[in-house]
Amino acid sequence: MTWIKLEDTLPFNPKIAALSDRAYRLHTYALCYCGLNLTDGLIHTHMLNKLGIKDAKKHAQKLVEIGLWKVVENGYEINDYLKYQTSKMQAERDKETNRLRAEKARQSKSEALRNGVTNGVRTGGVTVTDTHTPTPTDIKNSLSDLKIELKESFELCELLSGLIVRNGGKQPNITKSWIQEMNRIITIDERSPREIKYLIEWSQRDPFWCSNILSPKSLRAKFDQLRLKSPLSGHPNPKPKVEGSPSQSSNRFEVSEQTPQPPKFSIGDVNAPTKPAKSWRELVEEAK
């Protein structure tokens, strides 16, 4: 698309002021026609009556008489058109420049995907940025390819999606970004699939976290907090509501009886273990 330029003093020019309304509109429409079709100021004879002005030929003659137009072989030409308006050559040059700029931007974006992807994850109020070189799975176009190549990540996504639906939520759409983000939890954050599976199941049973963990992205961002809040962390957690409590009717979640609880010992207890405390990951493995 091109633009035409009109001086702000145009309506007050003595030549313009002497024109009739139709002659003035014919001149303006002709400028637009030349700019749109890149004619460099030429109005072809067969186009004159198609500009929407009654008695266009009569008004064109008036424009010729006052010196705004001149008669040429194929019709009329606007005097000094190229002095103020964009020529066909310049318009085509600008179009090509814009095309090359857009092509360069696309190449830069593609190069960024090939060379590295940066992801920002908020953990405990701090933004942690990780940069990694993407595998082919980061840039695959087919969702079905990801489901096969990242089968474990896809199955974890299916687990999360199914539990969200079971809790009364809307069925999430398992997209490429879902699978890729779940894969980053495994490959970049070095979380085992069993850890991820355990925290997905626990978070979807928890009345608070079930409404906050609704995608692999939120799971990744809150992973460390979930570990600390889960029963296997050894930290005390609020007791779940039991039957007969006033808010029982609004609580759809139950804590599994098989969920391992951290043992409680008092200071000086002879039965307290003397062995080094097991890691969180070892506790997860035992729970399974």
For residue range 85-137, what is the model confidence (pLDDT) as tens digits?
888 898 888 888 888 988 888 888 777 776 654 454 444 444 455 554 555 44
28-79, pLDDT tens digit by residue? 999 999 988 999 999 988 888 888 888 888 999 999 998 999 999 889 999 9
Task: Work out the angle at residue 270's Cα, subtended by the Cα atoms of residues 265 and 274, and round it to the nearest 5 degrees.
Answer: 80
Share of the chain above pLDDT 90, in %: 26
- Give the model's pLDDT for residue 248: 42
Residue 220 neighbours by CB distance under 10 Å: 22
- Strands 69-72, 75-78: pairing is antiparallel
pLDDT of the residue at 281 = 64
Residue 13 has pLDDT above 60, yes or no: yes
Domains, the chain, with CATH or none: 10-84 (1.10.10), 143-242 (no CATH)
Residue 157 has pLDDT above 90, yes or no: yes
> Which neighbouring-strand residues pair with 119?
130
- The pLDDT tens digits of the residues spanning 250-287 come to 443 344 445 444 444 444 444 545 455 556 666 666 66
Of 73, 22, 72, whose CA–CA distance to 49 is shortest? 22
At 178 the pLDDT is 92
Mean pLDDT of 145-160: 89
CA angle 23, 26, 30 (to 5 degrees): 145
User: Taking 50 as the threshold, does the pLDDT of residue 190 lie above it?
Assistant: yes
User: What's the whole-number average pLDDT of the chain?
Assistant: 77
Element (H, E) at 109: helix 88-115
pLDDT at 250: 40
pLDDT at 233 over 50: yes
The CA angle 144-150-154, to the nearest 5 degrees, is 75
pLDDT tens for residues 106-117?
888 777 776 654
Strand segments, DSSP code E, in the chain are 42-44, 69-72, 75-78, 117-123, 126-132
141-155, 205-219, 254-268 — most confident range: 205-219
Percent of the chain whose predicted confidence (pLDDT) is above 70: 70
What's the pLDDT score for residue 282? Answer: 67
**Mean pLDDT value of segment 140-146:** 72
